[in-house]
């Protein structure tokens, strides 16, 4: 069930009505019923994977709660010893839960990729042997709900909060329907209390939810779906186009990806707000990033936070990495010796982020691309500062910030060649063509009109992107637009809903040649 479908809007409308009509004690049950209905309609039998994950993390939470509770049965001075006594059991519970979910995730997403990668080796040593391939269907948003659920178990292990003892309530946390398609990856202590809260109908929540969802639909339907036409035309057969047209296609992929993903998150947060639920923010104007590290702090924030808290810190602060740090500081010395352990952890993080996006060598290369740039930035930070000082460059100068933003956008732009190309080697060829054989006249000789869009479509995209950038610039400088709208009258506030709706109707939904595409992150 796509967010852009009529059936989804009907489901949301019915759920909102029933949610506020039902007794407040059962409001969470309404959300659970809607979530299961959404997943059954959109994912069919794959809903069983949701129950599987919910069951494993529920059982793990109860076991961890049992072991954690042992400390409350002894005097204060003995609690540390008791927790140490049960530490191995607690660690085994977490390990088993991680394996139970991530091994399944590997089979679903990565088994066939691995099998195809190693089949030539098997052919060489075991003639005629065939690695079996998986035919299991990939569930909607499988990485999102598994990462979110495993994070819950780790937090219970760390004693951040007690486990949820109501299985159905935990199931709701795992499969809350607005965030199932593409996140955000929520934390239990932030989301669960909101899911189980009792609420009255609130006009402000409805108004803000509709405004945010409309903004998301605008970015998805008017911008991203149009840009997708150019992207698919060029990237499905890049060998038929010059370097300038390939770059044009990659630029439109950047527009499509941002409009698609951030628009989807806005729809998610807007729908959740209709029930009074404030989901975690996943984007903070990444187009205004001054470095690649800053970009990743602003882009897909909840994934980055998950990687930081549950993978980077445990790795960087582990005993093996501590020993490695002592060795590199002693043997290599200098800044390089200091940053090697951190850089290695960073590389691992971006490797995981890369393969999280998909089972393909190009995603692994994308991870290494980002890890390499960020590591080099750390290594050259001192020299970079020295050059700025020598040239008397003011870090806070507007022109220098503009330069940093443009530099970051260019680095991100190059990275998009890797993620959108059919294969990694094709991405390298595309980059080479862009810079060695651009054929610049193709940009104004009418070639772009052969890519599936007319002049009016390009005008709509240009104006829409300008509106989006203007809105983000305002937020970057002045804060949340909603707060400014709240100071305006009733008419202005509802115009903020009606104008995007009119644009959607005229340039999206009611077009005679309606353009539509699935969300890019649908099966991540």
H helix or E strand, kind and range, residue 443: none
Hey, what are 22's tokens?
Answer: 């039902």
CA 248 to chain centre: 24
Q: Write the DSSP string, 303-354.
A: HHHHHIIIIIHHHHTSHHHHHHHHHHHHHT-HHHHHHHHHHHHHHHHHHHHH
User: In whole angstroms, how large is the CA radius of gyration of the chain?
Assistant: 25
Contact 304, 287 (CB under 8 A): no
What are the backbone angles phi and psi of residue 409, rounded to the nearest 5°? -60, -35
Beta-carbon-side half-sphere exposure of residue 334 (alpha carbons within 13 Å):
6
Contact 354, 368 (CB under 8 A): yes
Tokens 């794959």 belong to 46
From the CB of residue 313, how many other CB atoms can be counted at a distance below 10 Å? Answer: 12
Which of 357, 392, 437, 478 is flagged as catalytic?
357
Contact 420, 235 (CB under 8 A): yes
Cα 391 to Cα 403: distance, rounded to the nearest angstrom: 15
C-alpha torsion angle, residues 304, 310, 313, 318 (rounded to 10): -150
Cα 356 to Cα 343: distance, rounded to the nearest angstrom: 19
Hey, what are 226's tokens?
Answer: 């149009």
Contact 79, 71 (CB under 8 A): yes
Angular region, 128: left φ>0, alpha ψ -120 to 50, beta rest:
left
Burial 68-91 (b: 16+ CB within 10 A, else e): beebeeeeeeeeeebbeebeeebe
Q: Write the DSSP string, 11-80.
A: HHHHHHHHHHHS-GGGHHHHHHHHHHHHHHHHHGGGHHHHHHHHHHHHHHHHHHHHHHGGGGGS-GGGHH
Contact 306, 183 (CB under 8 A): no
189 is catalytic: no
Contact 34, 15 (CB under 8 A): yes
Burial of 439 (0-12, 13-18, 19+ CB in 10 A): middle
Residues assigned a catalytic role: 357
């Amino acid at each position: 069930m796509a967010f852009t479908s009529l059936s989804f809007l009907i489901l949301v409308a019915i759920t909102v009505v029933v949610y506020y009509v039902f007794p407040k004690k059962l409001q969470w049950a309404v959300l659970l019923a809607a979530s299961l209905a959404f997943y059954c309609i959109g994912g069919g039998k794959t809903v069983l994977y949701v129950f599987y994950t919910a069951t494993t993390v529920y059982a793990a939470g109860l076991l961890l709660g049992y072991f954690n509770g042992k400390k409350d049965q002894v005097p204060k001075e003995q609690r540390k010893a008791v927790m140490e006594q049960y530490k191995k059991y607690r660690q085994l519970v977490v390990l088993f839960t991680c394996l139970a979910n991530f091994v399944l995730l590997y089979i679903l997403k990565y088994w066939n990729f691995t099998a195809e990668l190693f089949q030539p080796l098997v052919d060489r040593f075991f003639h005629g042997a065939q690695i079996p391939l998986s035919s299991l269907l990939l569930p909607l948003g499988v990485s999102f709900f598994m990462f979110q659920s495993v994070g819950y178990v780790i937090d219970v292990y760390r004693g951040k909060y007690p486990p949820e003892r109501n299985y159905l309530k935990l199931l709701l946390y795992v499969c809350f329907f607005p965030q199932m398609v593409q996140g955000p990856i929520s934390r239990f202590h932030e989301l669960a209390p909101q899911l189980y809260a009792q609420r009255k109908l609130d006009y402000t929540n409805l108004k803000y939810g509709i405004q945010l969802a409309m903004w998301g639909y605008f970015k998805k339907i008017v911008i991203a779906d149009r840009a997708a036409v150019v992207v698919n035309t060029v990237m499905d057969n890049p060998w038929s186009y010059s370097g300038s047209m390939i770059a044009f296609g990659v630029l439109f992929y950047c527009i499509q990806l941002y409009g698609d993903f951030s628009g989807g998150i806005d729809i998610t947060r807007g729908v959740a707000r209709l029930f009074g639920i404030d989901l975690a923010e996943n984007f903070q104007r990444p187009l205004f990033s001054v470095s690649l590290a800053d970009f990743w702090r602003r882009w897909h924030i909840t994934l980055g936070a998950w990687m930081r808290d549950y993978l980077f810190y445990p790795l960087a602060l582990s005993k093996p990495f501590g020993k490695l740090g002592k060795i590199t500081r002693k043997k290599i010395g200098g800044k390089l010796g200091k940053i090697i352990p951190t850089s290695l952890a960073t590389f691992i993080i971006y490797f995981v982020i890369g393969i999280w996006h998909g089972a393909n060598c190009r995603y692994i290369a994308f991870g290494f691309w980002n890890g390499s740039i960020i590591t080099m930035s750390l290594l050259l930070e001192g020299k970079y500062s020295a050059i700025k000082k020598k040239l008397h460059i003011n870090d806070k100068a507007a022109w220098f910030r503009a330069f940093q933003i443009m530099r970051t956008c260019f680095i991100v732009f190059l990275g998009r060649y890797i993620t959108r190309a059919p294969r990694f080697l094709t991405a390298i060829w595309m980059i080479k063509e862009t810079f060695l054989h651009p054929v610049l006249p193709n940009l104004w000789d009418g070639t772009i009109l052969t890519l599936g869009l007319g002049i009016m479509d390009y005008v709509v995209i240009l104006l829409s992107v300008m509106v989006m950038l203007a809105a983000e610039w305002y937020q970057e400088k002045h804060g949340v637009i909603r707060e400014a709208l709240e100071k305006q009258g009733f008419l202005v506030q509802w115009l903020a809903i009606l104008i995007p709706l009119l644009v959607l109707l005229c340039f999206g939904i009611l077009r005679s040649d309606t353009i539509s595409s699935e969300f890019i992150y649908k099966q991540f």
